[in-house]
Amino acid sequence: MNVMCLKNKSICLLVTFALLLQSCVVYKKTPSTINEAVDSKAKVLVVKTNDEKLKLIKIEKIDGNYFGEIKTKKGIEKIPLSENDIKSIRIKNKSASTLGNVFIVIGSLGVVFIVIVAIELQDFNVGLGEGL
């Protein structure tokens, strides 16, 4: 019994950590200009004219040219951006992203609490109805 209970608690702990490490990014609904994206220094979602989506860490303007910082396996790389190739730019909504992450954590903890209570009550036997 103890081995099963320990295994269940270990699984709950792993699921809790996995859910707590999740994060979401919410982007503003209204498109922004490339200059607003540069000024914001925030994460941006760029949709190119060929409908390719780029999730950039930020956009910089260097010597009149725009560059987007993107995270790759090698690290952070700068890719050139052409205004003609950009269909829309959406800037990260910091408040909505924060609220989303808070709700993910609270919801995750609630689910884990319910699972732990269910596991603990699984072995609980009041003895009602026995011997009838």
What would the DSSP string read from start to end of 10-48? HHHHHHHHHHHT-----B-SS---HHHHHHHTS-EEEEE
User: What pTM value is reported for the model?
Assistant: 0.67
Please, what sign has the CA dihedral across residues 48, 52, 53, 56? Answer: negative
DSSP helix/strand/coil, 104? helix
Tokens of 32: 């922004």
Q: pLDDT by residue (tens digit) across 48-76?
A: 999 999 999 999 999 999 999 999 899 99
d(CA 118, CA 77): 47
Element (H, E) at 58: strand 58-62
Tell me the per-residue pLDDT of 28-53, one tens digit each, with 9 for 90 and over. Answer: 999 999 999 999 999 999 999 999 99
